[in-house]
Amino acid sequence: MSVEIFDKVKSVLTEIEAAQPQTAEEVEQFRIRYLGSKNMIKPLFGEIRHIPNEQKKEFGQLVNSLKQAAELKFQELKSAAESAADQVEGTLIDLTAPAEPIALGARHPVSITLNRIIDIFTKIGFNIAEDREIEDDWHNFTAMNTPEDHPARDMQDTFYLKDSTQMLLRTHTSSVQARWMTKHKPPIRIIAPGRVYRNETISARSHCQFHQVEGLYVDENVSFADMKQTLLYFAQEMYGAETKIRLRPSFFPFTEPSAEMDVSCFICNAEGCSVCKYTGWVEILGCGMVDPEVLKNCGIDPDKYTGFAIGMGIERQAMMLYQINDIRLLFENDVRFLNQFKSAW
């Protein structure tokens, strides 16, 4: 009896070593036959009770080697099958086929316009200055020569922080100019881009948040003519070489004299259209010579230095450039609207 059991174990071992399954399914059948929960090796362990005592150790070692051989063979077969599958899969890849299309985003029209303005001014030596959006009353109003009774200080125009009359959301990026002038000595030549906030009713033409770029140039002997030439350069770079400008007297607390600047309508070539309201001119920014009181407030000697400041709304520029008739579209993140600017400058 013991001789037959030994022969049976050896026969199974030979069968395992000779097995050559080719497919993943055949490898799985091998596993079930020799290593599964009801495999054919398991009953052989039970035969040890029929083996003479002097042969039990030899028989146990033989059956254990049988199980180890089955496990080793299965691992080899499994690795070979996986490698073959990878090779087959690799041969099915068409490397000349076009890739899956990747949806490309579009830059926001405000970002496009802002970058364009920044590029124009940096070409002529202006540096970019950025600062906080939560500002104090002094930098936002007082330093800019805004009187205590000025309407802009009223809650109707300004977002003050809760339980505070001194901290607010900045109403213009002029506060950046104030901070820059208190920390740097002339010559100063900066542009200050950023988001600003005003307590206004949201409509097609106005919003409670928007973007500005303000420019400041302070040095010895800076004149109104310097400002005019700078603005002419900007207008022609922004709207075309044939663009003309005109300056109309205006008033701002922080500049004196002050002006509003119009450009000849680039939509209708100044012949008259709905964009320019049939006047041939479009207002784009405010400007003026920095008031001596502002220089004094910021620690700059107004007897030695002069300067000019300009300020423009980015949304207004974007709406004119792309003929957008509702400012709310710029804040709604409608993908259908934004996709129109994929090929924009």
Average pLDDT on 238-253 reads: 92
Work out the number of other CB atoms within 10 angstroms of the CB of residue 150: 13
337-343 long-range contacts, Cβ below 8 Å, gap at least 24? 338/105, 338/106, 338/108, 338/109, 339/106, 340/106, 341/106, 341/107, 341/108, 341/109, 341/112, 342/104, 342/106
> C-alpha angle with apex 60: 58 to 63, nearest 5 degrees?
110
| Average of per-residue pLDDT values in the chain | 85
Q: Which two tokens stand for residue 141?
A: 């109003």
Q: Which residue has the higher pLDDT, 301 or 107?
A: 301
Q: What is the pLDDT of residues 194-211, one digit of tens each?
A: 999 998 888 888 888 999
Q: What's this model's pTM, rounded to 2 decimal places?
A: 0.67
Topology of domain 109-341 in CATH is: BirA Bifunctional Protein; domain 2 (3.30.930)
Instruction: Answer whether residue 317 shows pLDDT above 80.
Output: yes
> C-alpha angle with apex 159: 167 to 312, nearest 5 degrees?
100
Q: Which residue has the higher pLDDT, 292 or 21?
A: 292
Q: Which two tokens stand for residue 205?
A: 């033409």
Instruction: Output the pLDDT for position 343.
Output: 67
Q: Residue 291: pLDDT band by 50, 70, 90 thresholds? A: very high
Instruction: In whole angstroms, give the CA distance from residue 64 to residue 71.
Output: 11
Instruction: Output the pLDDT for position 42.
Output: 73
Residues, the chain: 345
141-145 long-range contacts, Cβ below 8 Å, gap at least 24? 142/297, 143/175, 143/178, 143/182, 143/294, 143/297, 143/298, 144/174, 144/175, 144/177, 144/178, 144/253, 144/254, 144/294, 144/297, 145/253, 145/254, 145/291, 145/293, 145/294, 145/297
Instruction: In whole angstroms, give the CA distance from residue 194 to residue 176.
Output: 9
- Of the given ranges (32-41, 106-115, 155-164), which has the lowest mean pLDDT? 32-41
Average pLDDT on 127-155 reads: 86
Instruction: In whole angstroms, give the CA distance from residue 173 to residue 112.
Output: 19
Percent of residues, the chain, with pLDDT higher than 90:
43
Work out the number of other CB atoms within 10 angstroms of the CB of residue 78: 16
Domain ranges of the chain: 2-91, 109-341
